[in-house]
Chains A and B, each alone.
Chain A
Amino acid sequence: MLNYILKRLGMGVLTVWFIATATFAAMHLVPGNPLANEKATNAVIRANLERQYGLDQPVLTQYVIYMGNMLKGDFGIAFSEENRSVNDIIRETFPVSATLGLLSLLFATAGGVMWGALTAIYRNRWPDYLIMFLVILGISVPSFVFAGLSQFAILHLNKWTGVSLLPVAGWGSFRAMLVPALVLGLSTMAYLTRLMRSTMLDVANTDYIRTAHAKGLSTTRIFLHHQLRNAILPVITVLGPSIAIITTGGFVVESVFAIPGLGRYFVQSVAQLDYTVIMGTTVFFGAFLVLMVIAVDILYGFIDPRIRVEASR
């Protein structure tokens, strides 16, 4: 098992290195200059700036320097914010995005597993149809629509009740997190519901469930001990990457609700061609994602003994 984990981690490091290199290459191939602005600076000032950011070096030298610093855990100084290191940006904004993301994942998994199980139980009856209709809606409607709509709803709720029930936007209190977390988790919840429903149905048709019924076990016991436990495995598979994706911030939701998370740095850094922030956010996200995938693989072993056997071979 330890051997297996080490092997996976080694592959993971290689993957992250590849991500970093590919991003570095792509970002330097894109036309444009991170120091360029609407107002062009004169040659003297541009040279001074380039020297300060090390852009006067050949690209290959820049790559070697950057990789060296990255190994030391230093992502460099942001181009777009004076005196702000990318490490600081991640350190300050990631906890915000992660808090919001974990809350939304809580909504998503609790909802997804519950609704998915319900649709499986009520297969082809009206609760099934109703929930599946909402699920399709949740998957196909983009989050900025939900974000805007829910903000509109809060605004009118506050106006109607005459008190500030929920904040329209902002960050800092638990009240402010509720709606953004719901909106952020909605599509994951819908996806998990669908996944849960199909695996529940798959499991329901297996021989061991039939056997369980035949030997006279109660429906509740079959449902909880045999069906649910087997069906939840794919959900965990999806959950690993989902954690990495959701906790690193949803740009749209964060911008609509004025949440100071990591999300906007992903989008703005590309628009600004902010080399160090692009690298920092991408590598951080890549490493996190790889780690979550490995964690899920290891977790499998504990949930499903069959996988443990496979892995140790």
Chain B
Amino acid sequence: MLYLLWILPLLADHKSRSYLPWLLRLFAALCLLATGVQVWAQTQDQAVDFATQSIQLAMSDEPRSLNSIKAVDAFGIYIVEHIMDGLLRRDANHQLVPAVAERWEMHGTTARFWLRHNALWSDGRPVTAHDFVFAWRTVVDPATASEYASMMYVVKNGEAINSGKMPLAELGVKALDDYTLEVELEKPTGYFLQLMTFIVFFPAREDFYTAQHGRYFADVENMLFNGPFTLTKWVHGAALRLEKNPSYWNRDAVHLNLINIPYITNDSAARFSLFKDGKIAVEDGLVGIVTEQLHGALENRFRIHSHSDGSQFYVEFNLRPQRPTSNLNLRKAMQAVFDSQELVYKVLGIPGYIPGHSLFPVYLQGVKAKFRQEYPVPLPSLDLAQARRYLQKAKQELGVDNIPPLSILADNREINILQTQYLQSLFKRTLDIDLRVDVQSFKQRLDKMHTGSFDLVIAGWGPDYDDPMTFADLFASWNGNNHGLYNSPLYDSYIKTAQDTDDQQIRMDAMSKAQQLLIDEAVILPTYERVISTVQHPQLQGLVFQQTGAQMVLTYARVVE
């Protein structure tokens, strides 16, 4: 602040009574000040630094919570996965590898984990099986009100405890000794091990948790880490700072010493400017219709990396009896003219987006290979004549000469508005059906979706774990996210079959039948699988992108020369 002293002599020297020159002096002082500031330009905050193995990043939003027991938002999960460690972890190739658990065994409804002795909390004390028992019980405790408590329902009595019908101690998890954890499941669960990488299954130490008096992980001083990094700074809404955890059991595999996040802004143009100015090492928000930035990246010959973020989008029909869309033939008519390839390639035109053909995205794992490779869906055949026959039948069944105008609900993001416009013109042109576009802001869209005030709605789903079930059970009659109230005993039976066994062949077969049924009954029109494009600093290597959990993993990253 020394350069401010420049002003003092200028201000002091006003013996003359005239104020006009004084104004000029003030102006001159401001100019001088600006010059002084410019001379003072600093250069230490750079995107990457090889010598210290440190990088700088931006985030598009503030984490809503960093408490592994309660966090549900993408930004919270992203940070938590870097500062905490669960029983298992995913390696750079997305395979399950030991983390706090050294080895494990699963037989039917029982799972046993043997914990490593060198896994430590950041205060030096060992991570024990009791820490998992405490954390899992806290998740299902009704008083905690954890939104992801439902993930814990696979554990015996999880749901009953969460509903307040049973005491916490009844949860099917116990510590046989300090380093052996035994889990009793509600029923055989084929994807149980996948869940162990999910943050609600991470440990928490009871004495530390209770000592925070409800402020567990609210601020840096209320945190206790056992992951690859520790959080050393969290200025809410402004900055975060992660440093390598010296007591992490696998510290030799971690290369970065410092991850500095001094920028939080949801303005993607601003983040891209920061990247171009050499201030941040990765910009991962080139999502949606921000194609100007993609063009800018191409022009500058930046390294662009595209990856699926796991989300599948689709148009969902309202199947409530009073809605015209409850008519199967009407839906089939619309299905027969809808072409997701045209939508993705010609209308949206975002590089990398994959046209949707199924509820299940292409990356999901099946029995041995990818689910979609093992159970391919027939490509839709566009058939206008057939569509018109369906439409004719629909009109007869509905007893109308013309289909009344249908409402299509969407929230106010540009990509959704573009889709509604495309569908509006498509159905008018081919079937002479009018669509009324109902654009709402986020919460209002959710409300209308939930109460069923729509005929069609633009919806989507992001996976919670790496198994087709995270999508399949969406359209089970009991699922709260089944907005159109699709109610098919056949579909429900497929889901139950897949949920009641851990035989992967039986599970995948059942889910492939569910996949086909959704197409046959035209419950949804799959639109696209989302892809995120990122630009990265050439010196930064080893970034991993995932479809579930933290989208970007820095644990295996390093700065090269």
List residues of chain A with CB under 8 Å of any chain B CB: 30-34, 36-45, 48-49, 51-52, 80-84, 88-89, 92-93, 96, 110, 114, 148, 151-152, 155, 158-159, 163-175, 178, 220, 223-224, 255-258, 260, 264, 271-273
Interface string of B213-229 (1 = CB under 8 A from A): 01111100000000000
CB-defined A-B contacts under 8 Å, sample of 7? A32-B446, A36-B450, A39-B72, A49-B145, A80-B64, A155-B276, A260-B235
Residue from B146, B163, B277, B444 in contact with A30 in the complex, judged by beta carbons closer than 8 Å:
B444
Are B218 and A40 neighbours in the complex by a CB distance under 8 Å?
Answer: no
Known: A155-B276, A163-B41. 6 other contacts (CB 8 A): A44-B162, A93-B236, A110-B23, A170-B274, A256-B267, A258-B264
Is A169 a contact of B274 with CB atoms below 8 Å? yes
In the complex, residue of chain B having the shortest beta-carbon distance to the beta carbon of A254: B265
Among A33, A41, A223, A271, the most chain B Cβ lie within 10 Å of the Cβ of A41
CB pair A82 B38 closer than 8 Å: no
Cβ of B34 under 8 Å from chain A: yes
Complex partner residue of B443 from A83, A151, A159, A271, CB under 8 angstroms: A271
B147 within 8 A of A: yes
Task: Report Cα–Cα, A174/B37, bound state, in Å.
Answer: 8
Instruction: State how many angstroms separate the Cβ of A85 from the closest Cβ of chain B.
Output: 10
> How many residue pairs, one in A and one in B, have C-beta atoms under 8 Å apart?
175
Cα(A172)–Cα(B163), bound, Å: 47
A163: chain B residues within 8 A (beta carbon): 41, 43
A168 to B272, CA, bound (A): 10
Is B481 located at the chain interface by the 8 A CB criterion?
A: yes
Pick the contact of B441: A88, A166, A257, A271 (CB < 8 A). Answer: A271
CB-CB under 8 A for A83 and B265, given A49-B145, A178-B37, A273-B443:
no
Cross-chain contact B270 with A168 (CB below 8 angstroms):
yes
Q: Which residues of B contact A167 (CB under 8 A)?
A: 279
**Binary per-residue interface labels of chain B (42-72) against chain A in the complex, 1 for a CB within 8 Å, 0 otherwise:** 1101000000000000100010110100111
CA distance A41 to B273 in the complex (A): 38
Which residues of chain B have C-beta atoms less than 8 A from A40's C-beta? 450, 480-481
- Chain B interface residue count, CB cutoff 8 Å, equals 70
Give the interface of B toward A (CB within 8 A).
Answer: 1, 18-20, 23, 26-27, 34, 37-38, 40-43, 45, 58, 62, 64-65, 67, 70-72, 142-147, 149-150, 159, 162-163, 214-218, 235-239, 262-267, 269-270, 273-274, 276-277, 279, 441-444, 446-448, 450, 460-462, 480-481
Contact (Cβ within 8 A) A165 B38: yes
B64 touches A169 (CB 8 A): no
Q: How far is the CB of B319 from chain A (nearest CB, A)?
A: 17
Point out the residues of chain B lying under 8 angstroms from A260, CB to CB.
235-239, 264
A172 proximity list for chain B (CB < 8 A):
262
* B480 / chain A contacts, CB cutoff of 8 Å: 40-43
Contact (A93, B237) CB under 8 Å given A45-B162, A151-B273, A258-B263: yes
Which residue of A43, A152, A260 has the most chain B CB atoms within 10 A of its CB atom?
A260
Q: Which of B159, B215, B217, B238 contacts A171 (CB 8 A)?
A: B238
Closest-CB distance, B29 to chain A (whole angstroms): 11
Selected contact of A33 from candidates B38, B276, B446, CB within 8 Å: B446
Residue in chain B with minimal CB distance to A173: B42
Closest 9 CB pairs of A and B: A260-B238, A32-B443, A82-B65, A258-B265, A83-B218, A40-B480, A48-B145, A260-B237, A52-B145
Q: Which of B40, B270, B462 contacts A258 (CB 8 A)?
A: B270
Given contacts A33-B447, A163-B43, A255-B266, contact A39 B481 (CB under 8 A): yes
